[in-house]
Amino acid sequence: MSAKEKEKDKDTGASGKWLRKLSRKMVGEAQDRAEILEFLRDATTREIIEGDALAMLEGVLGVADIQVRDIMVPRAQMTVLARNDDGETLLKTVVESGHSRFPVMDEDREKIVGILLAKDLLRLAVNDTTPFDIKEFMRSPVYVPESKRLNVLLREMRRSRVHMAIVADEYGGVAGLVTIEDVIEQIVGEIDDEHDVDEDVNIRKDGDRQYIVRGQTPIDEFNEYFQTELSDDEFDTVAGLVMKQLGRLPRRGETLQMAGCDLSVLRFDRRRIDTLRLTAPRDIVPPEDRPLVGE
């Protein structure tokens, strides 16, 4: 039997019949999303669909329930450029942030007048004497309402090839921004970026008094690192304490104070907090760099 015949025979076996049944059910017979998910999970149990594929399919179905306001970067947390900034200031902001796209605000910092790509500043990095007029490189900003569903936003971004949109509130003001990466992460899971911490590291220094902290960091590890005395009687992780203080899952960019430190949510999904940015009241010496008692 040839390879093609074997493959055909495989498709006409139990798995092939089940897949055809699943397809017909999803296309013509499913009454609601819950029923579709039930069939997909059944397919995973039967090892017809891999677990990773199931997670992405669930994400695809779930984005219709998520609004832009749920994942946007709030205005207070946005890294922006000013239209009248000089080249040195622009470069400094771009390098320190590590982002690739930046909203550009007018002289009064009230209105966003364009989007600038970091790559457009390469000429300044190579030769800082080259005249640079930011207005020549700005792209027109795209605005979306806070209430827009992510499935609609993703379709529009792909069609127009837009990677960043400015989020407008009900009064027409700037509420925040959202990127196509933010939307895709709701489907495929987190995508590594400059905020991420290695899997085997829970706390990473990210600048002067700035630290990136994984939500799943054990409280005793957090206490040892930052020399705090947070209680672990009710929760085992930093994310648990944050959600207890807020009484709910936070929005991206939401801030709070805990143990004398300022915490800002960098990334979360609809189930858990993934990453936080912590600003400490002073520089912290990591436990491994501290002198032993008696030295």
Instruction: Out of 188, 221, 247, pick the residue that ends a domain.
Output: 188
Residue 36: band (very low, low, confident or very high) from pLDDT cuts 50, 70, 90: confident
Residue that wins the pLDDT comparison between 269 and 27: 269
Mean pLDDT, residues 171-198 taken together: 76
The CATH number assigned to the domain holding 262 equals 3.30.465.10
Last residue of some domain: 188, 212, 245? Answer: 188
Q: Evaluate whether residue 64 is within a structural domain.
A: no
138 and 179 part of one domain: yes
Percent of the chain with pLDDT over 70: 78
pLDDT at 4 over 60: no
Query: What are the backbone dihedrals phi and psi of residue 239, each rounded to the nearest 5 degrees, phi first?
Result: -60, -40
Neighbour tally for 208: CB within 10 Å: 8
Question: Are residues 177 and 227 part of one domain?
Answer: no
Host domain of residue 250: 203-287
- H-type alpha helices, 46-121: 51-62, 68-71, 87-97
The number of folded domains in the chain is 3
Burial class (CB in 10 A: 0-12, 13-18, 19+), 146: middle
Position 179 pLDDT exceeds 90: yes
Segment 38-56 shows an average pLDDT of 74
When pLDDT is cut at 50, 70 and 90, the band that residue 89 belongs to is: confident
Strands (E) across the chain are located at 73-74, 81-82, 101-105, 112-117, 143-145, 164-168, 174-179, 203-207, 210-214, 255-258, 261-268, 273-279
Would you say residue 176 lies in a domain? yes
Does residue 74 sit in the same domain as residue 183? yes
pLDDT of residue 5: 47
Q: What is the pLDDT of residue 263?
A: 92
Average pLDDT, the chain: 80
Tell me the pTM.
0.58
**Residue 15 belongs to a domain:** yes
pLDDT tens digit string along 91-125?
Answer: 888 877 778 899 999 887 778 999 999 888 877 76
Is the pLDDT reported for residue 8 higher than 50?
no
Q: What is the pLDDT of residue 116?
A: 93
Q: What angle do CA 251, 266, 281 make, to 5 degrees?
A: 110
Q: At 166, is the secondary structure helix, strand, or coil?
A: strand
Residue 237 lies in a domain: yes
Strand partners, 145: 168
Q: What is the mean pLDDT of residues 114-141?
A: 81
Strands 101-105 and 81-82: parallel
The model's confidence at residue 9, banded by pLDDT at 50, 70 and 90, is very low
pLDDT at 153 over 90: yes
56 is a domain residue: no
Residue 83 domain-assigned?
yes
Which stretches does DSSP call E strand in 127-235?
143-145, 164-168, 174-179, 203-207, 210-214
Range of lowest pLDDT (27-41, 128-142, 187-201, 254-268): 187-201
